[in-house]
Amino acid sequence: MSAAGLHEVLRHPGVWRRSSSAGPLLRTQATGCAELDAILPGGGWPVGALSEILFSQDGLGELSLLMPALADLTRRRRRVVFVAPPYIPYAPALRAHGVDLSQVTHIEADGSDNAWSTEQCLRSGGCGAVLTWLHKSDYAQLRRLQLAAETGGSLGFVFRPAAMAHNPSPSGLRLLVDSVGEDTRIEVVKCRGGLDTRRDTRLRWNG
């Protein structure tokens, strides 16, 4: 294989990549945001782990943040599951972001059924990504979801209120999405594997 061909292979988001630090190999999925990829170990969302999206209010584009990854997963015929979203996923918007709707499943669930459904999907090994909205989850519940993501090798995303940012969590990654004036700011609250301390862990985003 030529050097150019090898370079193209290594750029694929499904390839295992080593963190810039001397830590273990991390399997990641590119976020689609170059600035965020540059901050995160391995250059993207951690696969086989739970990532928390903590948001101060609806409508900040917290779901749009995931769209590039979801589009890539569905193009590769990986199932994407929405569990108990606050609003029914808007099909035209998903399609506009490049998401293949034939690979999207929407599950309605309440209370404990929400966490149970999420855990089963993550553990199954048949889902590329599972997204859920949990407003009153505790550490033990999140720990079960983290372990399920590890078992199934899935991308797990939990949307929670920003007020939960100060609570302990077993999630591998925690991002705080907030508004600053007319802009949206993303801050890395926690990241397993460590961060490059030379970089700012906050960035402006116009997704």
Question: Which tens digit of pLDDT belongs to each residue from 158-203?
Answer: 999 998 988 999 999 999 988 776 677 888 888 887 665 555 666 6
**Cβ-defined contacts of 3-7 (< 8 Å, 24+):** none
**Residues in CB range of 57: below 8 A, 6 or more apart:** 179
Quick one: pLDDT at residue 42?
87
Q: What is the mean pLDDT of residues 42-57?
A: 92
Residue 8 has pLDDT above 60, yes or no: no
Burial of 120 (0-12, 13-18, 19+ CB in 10 A): middle
Q: What is the rounded average pLDDT for all residues in the chain?
A: 84
pLDDT band, very low/low/confident/very high, at 150 (cuts 50, 70, 90): very high
pLDDT at residue 22, as a whole number: 40
Tell me what pLDDT residue 17 has: 39
Query: Closest by alpha carbon to 176, among 66, 53, 40, 41?
Result: 53
Single pTM value for the model? 0.83
Span 11-36, average pLDDT: 63
**What's the pLDDT tens digit per position in 65-115?**
999 999 999 999 999 999 999 888 899 999 999 999 999 999 999 877 999
What domains, with CATH codes, occur in the chain? 31-205 (3.40.50.300)
Query: Which residues are within 8 A (CB) of 30 and not within 5 positions of it... i.e. 6 or more apart?
Result: 13, 37, 43, 44, 45, 68, 69, 72
